[in-house]
Amino acid sequence: MSVFSRLFGGRGGLLERELHRMYVEMLCGSLGLDRAEAEREVSNAIALCKEQGRAQGTSALPLDYGDRLLVAAMLGEPKSKRIVEKARNEGATDDDVREWWNLPDLSRRMVLWSENLFRYAVFCDAKHQNGLSDQDAAARVRAMFPMYGDPGDTKNARGEDRPLPHELRGRVDTYRQDRGAQFIAAQVAGFSSYNAFVRHAIREGLL
């Protein structure tokens, strides 16, 4: 089990309490929020993510959904096949697909929420504290963090800088933790973005 799975796995009320605790600590430590404010932000985010899951019909997905997705793709079910093939085309393995989609829906949504929050904080800091333009601030964010989404989305980035598939998150996070922030920063400095480095590392068999 990867670091990613250990952090975001679980179920039910225990999962919700653990996510609340983890993200409160994260907001206090990384963004400097006081505990009361952090608890409000995280509670609101969990409530919003749960409502989104209910509205979109994903809140009740089984915890072996990743396994089912792979089987359905193998059997030729169109939607499952598109999801799996898009991830594989970007270097994701079946284990990567299984890990991401076997997470509880709430965990996946809170990952997206927290990423947006931290990336926006860095973007604003780059603009207002360092005086960078929107374009340069966005470039700094892309150099500091891997960006995930639809690899076919070229609205904000093209080529090697395009979004990575969500399924690669666990492997990328484990690689970063194993090698340390300084090593990753030095490697990324030679590329146009964190995503470009990840794509290079996958092609070279390093990640």
Mean pLDDT, residues 164-176 taken together: 95
pLDDT per residue as tens digits for the range 66-97: 999 999 999 999 999 999 999 999 999 999 99
Could you give the CA distance from residue 46 to residue 34 in angstroms, rounded to a whole number? 18
- Please give the backbone phi and psi of residue 141, each rounded to the nearest 5 degrees, phi first: -60, -45
Could you give the CA distance from residue 112 to residue 123 in angstroms, rounded to a whole number? 16
**Residue 1 in this model has a pLDDT that exceeds 50:** no
pLDDT per residue as tens digits for the range 53-64: 999 999 999 999
**Residue 146 in this model has a pLDDT that exceeds 70:** yes
Which pLDDT value is given to residue 205? 95
Helix axes 194-203, 134-144, angle to 10 degrees: 40
Tokens for 36, please give them.
Answer: 């009361």
- First-residue to last-residue Cα distance in the chain: 16
Question: Taking a C-beta distance cutoff of 8 angstroms, is the pair 177, 3 a contact?
Answer: yes
* 143 contact partners, CB below 8 Å, separation of at least 6: 188, 189, 193, 194
Tokens for 128, please give them.
Answer: 């207002």
Residue where the block lists tokens 């898009």: 86
Which pLDDT value is given to residue 30? 87
Could you give the CA distance from residue 3 to residue 124 in angstroms, rounded to a whole number? 29
